[in-house]
Structure 1
Amino acid sequence: MAIEAWFMEESDEDKRLPHHRNPKEFVSLDHLADLGVLYWHLNPKDYEKDEELQKIRETRGYNYMDMLDLCPEKVDNYEEKLKNFYTEHIHENEEIRYCLDGCGYFDVRDKDDRWIRIWIKEGDLIILPAGIYHRFTLDTSNYVKLMRLFMGEPVWTAYNRPQEDHPARKEYVNSFTDKVGVALEAH
């Protein structure tokens, strides 16, 4: 089962709704890969012995792992945490999340500054590149269990938009310039 992604309709409605455009405009895995977003579908029931997960971790240098249960019953200040996750930001490093249970949305900006909503579900492993503008929220199920992977000690510092002068953002934008020879402008 492949991940689902689509261009979002801008809306002030509940952020946990799908926010499809009308008509719906789905985004392919190739389009996500062009943005630097990587995806695997793995077996979350066997994550402790999963050889493919071990290969990904070894190949990419993810030597630290922890778990996050995100739901109202397990997180203090749940609504405040979700609000923080949903604030548009970048990171200096990749953001690697493996959905073991439940589901949620990662929203990423494309080259034209449009939001793409990526619906992660059980078994989806997603890697967002350093410097990509993104945000996260749950869907209406209000539950997700995520494995977080890191290179070295965990660093999770969010730099809220605008961050056009941040080195990670500059490097991300330059990756498109190098591919097509045209600068990516911020909006």
Structure 2
Amino acid sequence: MVKSWYMSSIYDDERNELHLNPPSFVTIEELNAKTGVLCWKFNPKDVDENKEFIELKRSRGYTYEDSVEISPEKLPGYHDKIKMFFAEHIHTDEEIRFIEAGSGYFDVRDLDDKWIRILVEAGDLLVLPAGIYHRFTCDKNDYIKARRLFIGEPVWTPYNRPADDMEERKKYIDRMKCQKA
């Protein structure tokens, strides 16, 4: 299952694990409570026949998907794209990723504005809620293959921080405060 922890803000390479000293791990339940992030685990070899995966896609309205390979060999302009993915931003829609192969990190902010690093590996399905500040980077292996799922047609627009005045960010904060109460 997905592993997550509060991360250090001091680093020379964002592809490292970046644990605090001492490490401060976050359970899946805490991750959901603190950020609204949802996680599942599926076997990537038979995910398309998995009844739970099929029902999850249906019940959440995921009707469009594609696949992307992120590595220096597979993604033109890899270093510029990774830099762009690592800029802190929000989206007006959920960001849904199923990791087919490889690994990487999604970093998300909790309501106290602290970073939580989420390690994603083959088989992990991650749903980042609309309006959450987040970013992505590969790990030291510099390779990840992810299936991107969408509700309807894909929306790719990132809104870099600060985006606190955006309606979706305000809705996210309100949802999380209600969930916390």
**Aligned equivalent of 1:144:** 144
**Aligned equivalent of 1:3:** 2
Deviations 1:126-172 (CA, angstroms, capped at 9, x unpaired): 00000000000000010000000000011111000001110110000
Opposite residue 124 of structure 1, the aligned amino acid is D
Instruction: State the Cα distance separating 1:51 from its structure 2 match.
Output: 1.7
**Aligned equivalent of 1:20:** 19
Matched, 1:94 2:58: no
2:90 and 2:176 map into 1 onto residues whose CA distance is 17
Opposite residue 142 of structure 1, the aligned amino acid is D
Instruction: State the Cα distance separating 1:46 from its structure 2 match.
Output: 1.0
Contact 2:11 2:18 in 1 (8 A): no
Q: Spell out the pairing of 1:55-66 with structure 2 (5 A cutoff).
A: 55-66=55-66
Percentage of identical aligned residues: 48
2:21 and 2:178 map into 1 onto residues whose CA distance is 34
Deviations 1:76-123 (CA, angstroms, capped at 9, x unpaired): 100000000000000000000000100000000011100000000010
| TM-score between both structures, scaled by the size of structure 2 | 0.97
Contact 2:100 2:147 in 1 (8 A): yes
Superposed structure 1 runs of 4+ greater than 6 Å apart: none
2:180 and 2:76 map into 1 onto residues whose CA distance is 45
Contact 2:8 2:19 in 1 (8 A): yes
Name structure 1 gaps, 5 residues minimum. 182-187
Name structure 2 gaps, 5 residues minimum. none
2:28 and 2:93 map into 1 onto residues whose CA distance is 21
